[in-house]
């Protein structure tokens, strides 16, 4: 891990050194909308990436971050970048699953339940993701995983039957389908609206990482967190392809180097943040425990159903991703 960090740092240093600055060059401002709060580690990683690019290009490209959905709400970020309303931005990859099932590769329950396996799954899917994004006038720069997903409730839950009728926060097709298969009622809520939704009773449950729960202090409304390691979804940073094509090779070198550091640093943060935030939930007063054996077995059956549905919807692209992932293990 130390070697990777040094190697990545050298790549960036070399990229930065190669930049040729023109005294009369006109600075460009790139707006970077992000859906999560400024204190979230994805946003912190994005801010440091922006500073790296701004510094590395000696101000020729200034990236200005806009966390908490302050410039565009999460669901609008990708479209804003595609159409040139913003030059660059961050979004939850599976948030596009309604456009193409392949975007939900990282939200298949119990397929990749560790950081190592999720990294292999991401690399298996990356060529397909890059092709799909290219067709949509986008270029992916880097991606960072969330910690393993667990289940939040405001009561004790020991079986799927205990979930029936609960209002469940959904944020993509996979979470909406999970709600349907467990008898819960899906309610679409963006990350920036989580605290208010739980406080007002609009939602009573969610599947998310300890990081989201900690950032949003959900212990003020919820009582139980069950560690089920359902999946590890990815946030990714994309840039408008026209903007990218107009960027000089020297600047692309800096941006690519900064993206490598961001992916490494963000992944490291995700791993470190996992234990820290779970402990934070406990300190906040929540009951934190692994899900019971009976509940896990029921959830695995549901996961198998969702996996089969995803494969059917994703077609040949989905099959290729699964084959590449299996070969990597």
pLDDT by residue (tens digit) across 216-267?
A: 999 999 999 999 999 999 999 999 999 999 999 999 999 999 999 999 999 9
| Spatial CB neighbours of 27, under 8 Å, sequence gap ≥ 6 | 59, 60, 61, 62
Average pLDDT over residues 86-104: 95
Would the pLDDT of 295 be above 90?
yes
**DSSP bridge partners of 237:** 90, 142
CATH ID of 150-230+285-328, from 3.40.30.10, 3.40.190.10, 3.40.190.170, 3.30.450.40: 3.40.190.170
pLDDT by residue (tens digit) across 158-217?
A: 999 999 999 999 999 999 999 999 999 999 998 889 999 999 999 999 999 999 999 999
- Using a CB cutoff of 8 Å and minimum separation of 24, what contacts does 287-291 make? 287/156, 287/223, 287/224, 287/225, 288/224, 288/225, 288/227, 289/224, 289/225, 289/226, 289/227, 290/226, 290/227, 290/228, 291/151, 291/226, 291/227, 291/228
| Spatial CB neighbours of 158, under 8 Å, sequence gap ≥ 6 | 292, 294, 295
Under the banding of pLDDT at 50, 70 and 90, the label for residue 26 is low
CB count in 10 Å sphere of residue 50? 22
**DSSP bridge partners of 185:** 167
Give the pair of three-digit tokens for residue 13.
Answer: 């240093």
Give the Cα separation of 230 and 247 in Å (integer): 39
CA atoms within 13 A on the CB side of 145: 29
- pLDDT of 3 reads 34
H/E segment holding residue 258: helix 249-283
Under the banding of pLDDT at 50, 70 and 90, the label for residue 22 is very low
H/E segment holding residue 205: strand 205-208
As annotated, the residues of the chain forming the CATH 3.40.190.170 domain(s) are 2-146+234-275, 150-230+285-328
Q: Is the pTM of this model over 0.75?
A: yes
User: 2-146+234-275 falls under which CATH superfamily?
Assistant: Bacterial extracellular solute-binding protein, family 7 (3.40.190.170)
Per-residue HEC secondary structure of 187-200 comes to: EECCHHHHHHHHHC
- pLDDT of 10 reads 40
């Amino acid at each position: 891990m130390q070697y990777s960090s040094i190697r990545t740092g050298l790549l960036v240093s070399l990229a930065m050194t190669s930049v040729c600055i023109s005294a009369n060059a006109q600075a460009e401002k790139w707006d970077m909308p992000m859906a999560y709060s400024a204190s979230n580690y994805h946003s912190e990683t994005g801010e440091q990436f922006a500073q790296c690019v701004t510094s590395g290009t000696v101000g020729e490209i200034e990236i200005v971050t806009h966390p908490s959905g302050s410039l565009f709400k999460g669901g609008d970020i990708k479209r804003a970048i595609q159409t040139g309303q913003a030059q660059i931005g961050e979004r939850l990859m599976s948030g596009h699953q309604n456009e193409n099932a392949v975007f939900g590769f990282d939200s298949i329950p119990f397929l990749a339940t560790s950081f190592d396996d999720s990294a292999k799954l991401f690399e298996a899917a990356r060529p397909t993701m890059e092709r799909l994004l290219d067709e949509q006038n986008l270029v992916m720069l880097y991606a960072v995983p969330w910690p393993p997903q667990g289940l939040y409730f405001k009561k004790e839950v020991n079986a799927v039957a205990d979930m029936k009728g609960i209002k469940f926060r959904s944020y993509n097709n996979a979470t909406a389908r999970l709600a349907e298969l467990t008898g819960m009622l899906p309610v679409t809520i963006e990350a920036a609206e989580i605290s208010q939704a739980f406080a007002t009773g609009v939602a009573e449950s969610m599947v998310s990482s300890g990081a989201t729960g900690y950032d949003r202090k959900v212990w003020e409304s919820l009582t139980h967190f069950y560690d089920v390691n359902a999946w590890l979804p990815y946030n990714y940073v994309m840039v408008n392809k026209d903007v990218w094509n107009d960027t000089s090779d020297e600047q692309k070198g800096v941006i690519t180097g900064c993206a490598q550091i961001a992916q490494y640093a963000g992944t490291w943060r995700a791993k470190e943040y996992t234990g820290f935030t779970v402990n934070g939930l406990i300190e906040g007063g929540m009951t934190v425990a692994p899900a019971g054996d009976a509940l896990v077995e029921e959830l695995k059956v549901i996961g198998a159903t969702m996996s089969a549905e995803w494969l059917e919807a994703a077609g040949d692209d989905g099959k290729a991703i699964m084959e590449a992932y299996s070969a990597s293990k």
